[in-house]
Amino acid sequence: MSYRGDYYPPAKPIRVKNGIAVRSKKGAIGGTWWSKRFIEALERIGIGSRLQRGKSYARNGQVVTINIEGGFVHAQVQGTNPRPYSVTIAFSRFPDTQWEEILDALSSQALFAAGLLGGEMPQEIEKVFAENRLSLLPAGRKEIITNCSCPDSANPCKHIAAVYYILAEQFDRDPFLIFALRGRDRETILDGLRKRRGAVAEPGAETVRRPDPPPDVPSGTNLPPLSECMDTFWEAGELLETFPIYLHAKPELEAAAIKRLGPSLYRVKGKDLADLLIPVYPKARNRVLKEIERSSAGRHETGER
């Protein structure tokens, strides 16, 4: 069947059940400054117009799988062909000597070390790379090597473009993936920072003062060994009431603990478990603070102290 002018309407891709889709249904994709900067970097090197071709694929869940390992992104994207297309993306990796210089620079400032150890990407981090004549995000087309098994000769094709968008939201959850694509994984980065920060933590060096423990609370140095208290291990001890809890209106790093763990191995209805848990932290904190305020207001009205 032909159409006027020998025009054939474009075939629609085969829908994927439980495919990987971006959370954004309209507008920009990416929730953190670093994921947005990643998309901006791609647009700046001249492939922004072709990125739009993959946005609908990313929003409709056409990406079947995505895996980041060994500095490479491997993905399967469902198109019009019954068999998903294979996509590979690789960034140019920094030499070991340059990574050592970067880690030295990052560890020299507590702001960078604290942010990264808490699972956040400090906004000034790009300056550190620039000062070492490097760019954390792609600065040119030669820094990205891509391949797709589809017949489209354009680069990026819509399948590669869709993976770029999914990758941006992967960066939202785990900024260390950006480092991994440049040659250093999460544990290597954190281990390097810990060792360097530990080396400078000498007498006279700047340290962060922790809150003092409540009075009359034993330090724990005289507690019996675990082997002697196995029968009562799961029971609440006498010190439970004296356990210190510090509440803040808003922490410097939201959901730092779960972000530091990175993407979860489990998914609920196609969504990463970590993505579902992260919003719970501020809601739980706000609920507790409201209850405290309500309780305090009630005691004030009744004259209780």
The amino acid occupying position 219 is S
Q: Cβ neighbours of residue 58 under 8 Å, at least 6 residues apart?
A: 21, 22, 29, 161, 162, 165, 166
Say what the pLDDT of residue 205 is. Answer: 42
Say what the pLDDT of residue 206 is. Answer: 44
**Contact 63/57 with Cβ under 8 angstroms?**
yes
Query: From edge to edge, which strands make up the β-sheet containing 144-148?
Result: 63-69, 72-77, 85-91, 144-148
Q: What band does 258 get if pLDDT is binned at 50, 70 and 90?
A: low
Query: Nearest-CA neighbor of 180 among 287, 64, 54, 93?
Result: 93
pLDDT in tens, 57-94: 999 999 999 998 878 999 999 999 999 999 999 999 99
Mean pLDDT across the stretch 190-203? 71
35-39, 134-138, 140-144, 224-228: least confident range: 224-228
Task: Please determine, for residue 299, whether its predicted confidence score (pLDDT) is greater than 80.
Answer: no
Q: What band does 155 get if pLDDT is binned at 50, 70 and 90?
A: confident
Alpha carbon of residue 221 to chain centroid: 37
Q: How many CB atoms lie within 10 A of CB 106?
A: 22
Say what the pLDDT of residue 253 is. Answer: 58
Say what the pLDDT of residue 48 is. Answer: 66
